[in-house]
Amino acid sequence: MPEQEIEETADYERARVKDHPPDRPMLLIVEDNPDLRKYIIKSLDAGFTCHEASDGNKGLDRAIKLIPDLIISDIMMPGVDGVEMCSKLKNDVTTSHIPIIMLTARGDMGSKIEGLITGADDYIIKPFDAKELQVRVDNLIKQRKQLRERYRKEMVLGTENLKLSHPDQKFLTRVSELVNDHITESDYTVGELAVEIGMSRSQLYRKILALTDQSANEFMRNSKLKYAASLFDHGHQNVTEVSLQAGFSSPSYFASCFRKLYGKNPKQYMTG
């Protein structure tokens, strides 16, 4: 993996891919009523970057293109309604991780169950208070952030036991397999990984970042470092050889990255 590419950080990629400040999560509002759509955006615009779509078809297109942090969608829309849109997004590996809040004017239990069965993460009955919507959005964003942070910590320990949806777990497994297949190649890039996984580069960045709190470059680098640590654990003691086996062309750069991730340089790690 080219070292200049490894150096790109998660914050850099957040800003570059989203094209907005990294501390502002991206929302997609899918609502066919323009007045309600404007009301929702006005209610949330202070803390989020809001994008909008006027129906389910456009919502699907924008969700796949943008990979937002959260989607708010009406359940009743002409053409592709919220239930169908939600089902398609939750079953698409590119968008399956995105939390979705469903809105409906119907307060019956059947409507709520219908929305939740498709994989919706929350449900709000119209009319609703703007503060309630803000709290629901904040809670889902916070939950996803905690999940990402936990994954990041567990990856270092080698205990990634998070309960992810089947599409998300399958995705991370596939990405890990591809990285491991090219583990010794110092010039294997995120662009090549994206091609092999079947996503655009920006989609891959957003997906990995959303699930692991790591940029795609960081995920690849940390996977290589984890592999190097396993070699040390199994008795390999030549740092230069291990760095090459883990796909680092520079032993000094490898040692620097290893120390940053594990808090110890390779020699210290080997001696406990």
Whole-angstrom distance, CA of residue 54 vs CA of residue 80: 11
Compute the distance between CA of residue 54 and CA of residue 59 in angstroms, rounded to an integer.
7
Mean pLDDT for the stretch of residues 132-156: 86
Q: Token pair for residue 123?
A: 């449900």
Per-residue pLDDT at 186 exceeds 80: yes
CB 172 within 8 A of CB 219: no
pLDDT at 18: 45
- Place 148 in a pLDDT band, splitting at 50, 70 and 90: confident
Ranked by mean pLDDT, the top range of 33-47, 102-116, 145-159 is 33-47
Q: Looking at the chain, how many residues does it have?
A: 272
- pLDDT grade, residue 9 (50/70/90)? very low
Position 110 pLDDT exceeds 80: no
Q: What pLDDT was estimated at residue 5?
A: 45
CATH topology of domain 160-270: Arc Repressor Mutant, subunit A (1.10.10)
* Burial letters 55-64, b for 16+ CB under 10 A, else e: bbbbbbebbb
Provide the pLDDT for residue 271.
86
Q: Is pLDDT at 162 greater than 90 in this prediction?
A: no
* pLDDT score at 152: 75
- HSE on the CB side for 14, CA within 13 Å? 15
Question: CA–CA distance from 110 to each of 45, 60, 102, 119, 172 (Å)?
Answer: 32, 24, 14, 15, 34
Query: Domain locations in the chain?
Result: 13-147, 160-270
Both structure tokens of 35: 């007045």
Q: CATH: 3.30.365.10, 3.40.50.2300, 3.50.50.60, 3.30.460.10. Which one for 13-147? A: 3.40.50.2300
User: Tokens 């596939």, residue?
Assistant: 174
pLDDT at 61: 96
Average pLDDT over the chain, rounded to an integer: 86
Higher pLDDT, 79 or 70: 70
Sign of the torsion formed by the C-alpha atoms of 44, 45, 50 and 56: positive
CA distance 240 to 246: 10
Reading the block at residue 189, the tokens are 């890039």
pTM of the model: 0.82
Q: Which of 118-132, 186-200, 222-236 has the lowest mean pLDDT?
A: 118-132
Q: Which two tokens stand for residue 173?
A: 């497994």
- Strand, helix or coil for residue 30: strand
pLDDT, position 7: 47
* Inter-CA distances, 230 with 160, 224, 238, Å: 15, 10, 13
* pLDDT attached to residue 147: 85
Residues paired with 101 in a beta bridge:
72, 122
Q: Give the CA dihedral 259, 263, 266, 269, nearest 10 degrees.
A: -170
pLDDT band at 155 (very low <50, low <70, confident <90, very high): low
